[in-house]
Structure 1
Amino acid sequence: MSVWGLVWAVFGTAAFALAGRVGWAIACGVLWLVATIDMLVVLRHIRQGPHYQPGPDVPPYRPPEGPGRR
């Protein structure tokens, strides 16, 4: 979804800038920035992997070991 928003924000910024609508171009530029930050946060969370958060009634456990984990 963030890629879709990013594409439309870039298109809107360019289209409004070419049409001379500076206010709308700035608004789309801000939306472009928000979509970029959102995409970076999503990618960071994907790279971190799953993080199961048990409740207080679940005893601690050893995390699974796999490639890149020690």
Structure 2
Amino acid sequence: MRTGNEPITARSPLRLRLWLGIWGLIWTAAGTTAFAWAGRAGWAAACGALFLVVAVDVVVIVRHIRQGPHYQPGRDVPPYDPDHG
């Protein structure tokens, strides 16, 4: 809900999420490889599944970053009334 007092210089957390996602991709790929090499198929599958989840999240984040900023109302637009229902 928009309250009208959001900071003008607010920044998106997408770049931080992207770097954390890349960090997750590295660790899950390393875990999948290490567990597969050690003969732990169950753990390797779990890390592989987590790798796929993180990869999809990184793709969504990149898509959102490429979309660019979305419309934000200016100072002349009054804040919305709170929903009392």
Percentage identity across paired residues of the two chains: 64
Q: Which has the higher helix share?
A: 1
| Structure 1 SS opposite 2:71 | coil
Q: TM-score, normalised by structure 1?
A: 0.74
Query: How many Å apart are 1:52 and its aligned residue?
Result: 3.1
Please give the per-residue CA displacement for 1:14-51, whole angstroms capped at 9, x wherever unaligned.
00000000000000000100110010000000000011
Gaps of 5+ in 2: 1-19, 79-85
Partner of 2:66: 47
Structure 1 residue ranges (4+ consecutive) displaced by more than 2 angstroms after TM superposition? none
Count of matched residue pairs? 57
What root-mean-square deviation, in Å, do the aligned CA atoms of Structure 1 and Structure 2 show? 1.8
Partner of 1:17: 36
